[in-house]
Structure formats: C-alpha cells, structure tokens
Amino acid sequence: MRAHQIRFIVLLLVVPLGAYSLFVVYPYVWAIGISLTEWRGLATPPSWIGLANFAAILGDPGFWNALRNNGVYLLFVPVVTVTLALVLAALICQRCTRLTEFYRVVFLFPQVMSIVVVAILWGYAFHPRIGLLNSALEVFGINGPSWLGDPNLAQASLVAVIVWNSVGFHTALFIAAMRAVPETYYEAARLDGAGNWRMFRDITLPLLRDPVRTSLMFMAFEAFDLFAITRIMTGGGPNHATDVLATYVYDQAFSLSRFGYASALAVVMFALMLGFSAVMLLVMRENKVEFA
Amino acid sequence: MRWLELAWGSLRHLFLAVWAAIVIGPLVWVVVTSFKTDREILTDPWSLPQDWHADNYSRAWDVANIGGYFVNSITVVIPSVLLTLALSAAISYVIARFDFRGRQLLNAFALSGLLFPVFLALVPLFFLANDLGLTNSHLGLSVIYAAYSISFTTLFLTNFFRTIPQELHEAATLDGAGEFRIFLTIMLPLAAPGLVTMGIFNFIGQWNQFILPYVLINDERLFVLPQGMQYLMIQQQYDSDWSALFAAVTIVMVPTIVIYTVFQQRIQAALTSGALK
C-alpha cells in the first residue's frame, strides 16, 4: 500500500469512525461502567458500588415479572408468526398470478406503517366501548371484554398485534426464497406422483430452512424489545401485566432517575440476548441436516 | 380428483382472503371512523358516518399539530439518511477495496453496533447528548440516527462494493485518477443501486424511529411524527377529541400505504434485503 492510499483511507475514515465511536461505541462501554455505580442524576455524581446493582436485580420482583413477560413473548411470537407466514407464503406461491401478487402487497401494509400508528390503531380497535372488536361482538349480542384492561387478556392481545404487524414481512421473505427453488425439482416430483402437500413438505420446507431460521431469530430479538408497542398500548399495565425489560429499563432510568440500576438492568438484558443467541446457534447447528 | 382440486383451490383463496380482510379491516375502520362525529363514534362505532366530516382533518392538521410534526420528521430524516449513506459508504468502501493490516478489526468494530440492544446505550447517550447540546435538537437527532444506522448499512454496502470489479480501480489509476476521484466519480455512481436500497431501508426505519426521539427530545414543538402521534393520543384522553385522533392516524397512515403500493417492488426488495444478506 502506498502513502497516498494510506492518507486517503485515514481521511475517509476519520469522520465516520469518529461519529460512530462517540455516539455508539462509547455509550455502550460507558453503560457498563454506570451499571457498577449508584447514580441518581445530575445533582449527585455517581458513586462506585461494585456489583450491588446486580445483586439487587436478583431480588427485584419487577425484574422477574418483566423477564417472565419477555419469556412469554419469546415462546409464542416467533413460532406463531413464522408458522402463519409459512402457510400464507405456501398458499400464495403455488401459482403466481395477479391475485396472489395483490395478497403479497397487502400483507406487507402493517410493516410499512409506523409501529406507533399500529399501536394507536389497535389500542382503539381493542377499546371496550368504541373498539372494532367489541362492536363486532355486540352484533352477535356478546359483551366483549376489556382486552387491554384485563391482566389475563392484555398480553395475549399484544401478541396478536405483534403477529398481525410482522407476518407480512416474513411472508415476503419466504416467497422470495420459494421463488428461488428451481421449478425442475417440482416437475420431477410431480412425475413421481407427488401431491401438493408432499412437494411442500419434502421439497419446499427443507429448502426454506435458512430463511425460517433467520425469521425465528429476527422475531426472537423483537420479543426482547417491544418498547413502543407496550408503551403506547398498555404502558406496561394493567398492574404491570405487560411490563417488559425494555419498558422496565426505561422507567427505572427516565421516570425514577435510577441511572445506575437501569444500566445494570440493561447489561443483564444484553447478557440474556447474547446467551440466547449462543444457545440458538448451538441448537441450530446440532440439527443441521445434510442433503446429498 | 377434479372436485378435490377445486375444493382445495377455493379453500386456499378463502384463507388468503380472510387474512387480507384481517389486515385491511382495521385500516378501513380507522379511515371510515375519521369522518364521523364524536357522538357517532361513541354510540354507533360499526356504521358509516351520517355526514362525511372532513373538518376532523383540518382540526387534526392544525390544532393537533400533525403538520408541525410532519415537517419536523422531514427536517430530521432527510439529513440523517444522507449522512447515514455518506458515513457508511466511506467505511464500507475502505473495507471492501483495500487490503491492509487491521482490516478485519475495522470490519468487526464497524459491525459491533449490531450486537448491542439500544436500551443499553440510552442512559449514557442521553447524558452525552445533553453535554454536547444535542438534546432537543433536530441536528443532534439526525447525527445520532446516522451513527446508529452505520453498522447495518456498512454491512450491506461492503457486500455491494465487493461486487464492483477491481479492474475498474486499476484502469482508473492507470489513467492517473486519484483515490478521491475514483471513489467519488466511479465507485459511488456504480454503487447507486445499493445506496438507493439502503436509502429506502433507512428512511423507513428512521422515519418510524420511536425510542431515540422519546429519550432525546422533550420539547413538544420539536417532536417528530411518531412521538407527536403518541403525544396526541395522550392528549386525546383529556380532550376526548376522538374524531381528530382518527383523522390524524389516517393522515399518517394513508400516504405511507399509497407510497408503498406505488413503489412496492423497490421497497419490498429494500426491506427484505436485510434478512436475505
């Protein structure tokens, strides 16, 4: 490499890496430092307390409650979303006509809308008095429940909204993957007398292994976040029934000014996500099927 | 066999149509409701409006300040997308084009942002922005949006720059072009399709961004659209101006859907490019 090239590289990198280091890397590193302090805001400087925040987290019912809710999302959201998306993709892709193009476009509507708009829209659709759902139920003489006000229904309602919002995106992904499968595979199978279902199970599904994994991982990471939808639709209520780690971290930091404790919670959240991805990668590797 | 195929075909379309109805139904409901009076909304949520009240829209635009939030979003997101592309193109070009010690390290460093949840950065980022005078600032928000978009955009553009043949670089060098000229006049134009894809991808993501402005902007006049919508929803609980809120949701929702439908092929490619890479 020549001198003028080195000068070029340095000049090209200095601003982008500077901005990235200052606004992205530095806060992440600093957060780990803050997590080891007690810090109540600008008036008082942070004081070092070692791992005391982490010990406090273990005994904090609010943390365990939020974690349990994240766990419920993790259990249901990826599997339901991906299954439904697979079914829809398979139904659309069978014969690619104008009508199926229409479905593919329509299914992605929720994805291009802002999550805030989606949350507000469904907040009102679930409204016990003026909501879409309950006024529909009223037609059949059923008095609909308070979907978001009932601790037993609130989280299930949110799962429904998240699935509604995400299915189209994963359907689009799966359709793209299905269209990449060579038509000759299906022709050969058809000659061997395979039906639609057999072809889907034995050809399409195995070839979709990678996109399905990607989608499951993607939705799993979504299940760790869910800040906007929770904040707007339930505020974490009723009575903390829909609190998640993201809203809990936010509240500890910006409502209660417990900056040290909030950062420690965020470090735990990060560790859980890392651990989860490591486990997922391991599980997926063990299940790897080799095709001849 | 014939009737079985027919039954399967109609079942298939029924299933697709049901899901399409589940997707479109709530959207239509919002649009229809936005033309009703508050009385109609409360007493008869299921019917069509008696008169179609367009005045809900002027109320939403002026009183609820949707227009102001919209302008704020434009002011933030257009510079931030351009900045995202400029910063990421520089890093990814270096990674893709030059071989030097530490290239792997640079690559890992640039992508490390993908590893962390943004919630971990919130507290320090707030104090950092505060110290630099970047809270309650549209410029500050633009810069921070761009910084947090670097990792993914760099990952995508690096792969893109790699597809441009190395020979072009050599030929241009032989013609006496300097590195800056090669980058600006040859490489960037060749990378235009990748830049457009990432431009759309980041525009959608940054336009819909919620948590960062929620933390960094608390002056109502400076709110960006998602934040303003949320604020409006809270206000509505005091004012009970349901119809204006539904009109506001429609104002935000319908253009998005129209733009998406017109450019759907491009947008769909941009949205799915992330997961397929």
ipTM of the complex: 0.88
Contact criterion met (CB < 8 Å) for A16 and B116:
no
One domain for residues A119 and A83: yes
Q: Three-state SS for B44? A: coil
So what's the pLDDT on residue A65?
95
Q: Does residue A132 surpass a pLDDT of 60? A: yes
Contact criterion met (CB < 8 Å) for A168 and B23:
yes
Q: Residue A37 forms beta bridges with which residues?
A: A48
Q: Which residue of B has its CA nearest to A32?
A: B120
Residue A160 — pLDDT band, cuts 50, 70, 90? very high
Does residue A1 lie in a domain region?
Answer: no
One domain for residues A138 and A229: yes
Domain residue limits at A278 = 28-59+257-287
Contact criterion met (CB < 8 Å) for B226 and A115:
yes
One domain for residues A193 and A49: no
Q: How far apart are CA A218 and CA B205, in angstroms?
A: 15
What's the mean pLDDT in B137-145? 96
Q: What is the mean pLDDT of chain B?
A: 87
Peptide bond between residue A238 and the one before it cis (omega within 30 degrees of 0): yes
So what's the pLDDT on residue A264?
95
One domain for residues A32 and A117: no
So what's the pLDDT on residue A42?
72
Write the CATH number for A196.
1.10.3720.10
Q: How far apart are CA A277 and CA B274, in angstroms?
A: 18
Angle in degrees, 0-180, between the axes of helices B264-276 and B242-262, rounded to the nearest 10? 80
Q: How far apart are CA B111 and CA B149, in angstroms?
A: 10
Identity of residue B194 = G
Nearest to B197, CA basis, from B162, B236, B156, B227 = B156
Nearest to A204, CA basis, from A93, A105, A283 = A93
- In Å, how far is A44's CA from the nearest CA of chain B? 14
Interacting residues of A28 by C-beta distance below 8 A, sequence separation 6+: B116, B120, B121, B124
User: In chain A, what residues touch B86 (CB-CB under 8 Å)?
Assistant: 16
Contact criterion met (CB < 8 Å) for B275 and A215:
yes
- In Å, how far is B192's CA from the nearest CA of chain A? 19
So what's the pLDDT on residue A290?
47
Q: Is A186 exposed, middle or buried (0-12, 13-18, 19+ CB in 10 A)?
A: middle
Question: How many CA atoms lie within 13 Å of A195's alpha carbon, on the beta-carbon side?
Answer: 5
Residue A286 — pLDDT band, cuts 50, 70, 90? low
Contact criterion met (CB < 8 Å) for A87 and B257:
no
Domains, chain B, ordered by start: 60-276 (1.10.3720.10)
One domain for residues A74 and A211: yes
Question: How many CA atoms lie within 13 Å of B232's alpha carbon, on the beta-carbon side?
Answer: 33
One domain for residues A49 and A113: no
Does residue A3 lie in a domain region?
Answer: no
- In Å, how far is A247's CA from the nearest CA of chain B? 9
Q: How many domains does chain A have?
A: 2
Q: Three-state SS for A48? A: strand
B202-245 per-position pLDDT tens digit: 998 899 899 999 999 999 999 999 999 999 888 877 777 788 88
Does residue A187 lie in a domain region?
Answer: yes
Does residue A239 lie in a domain region?
Answer: yes
Does residue A23 lie in a domain region?
Answer: no
Does residue A84 lie in a domain region?
Answer: yes
Q: How far apart are CA A281 and CA B159, in angstroms?
A: 23
One domain for residues A123 and A175: yes
A186-226 per-position pLDDT tens digit: 888 888 888 878 888 888 888 888 889 889 988 998 899 99
Nearest to B202, CA basis, from B129, B153, B268 = B153
What's the mean pLDDT in A102-127? 89
Does residue A52 lie in a domain region?
Answer: yes
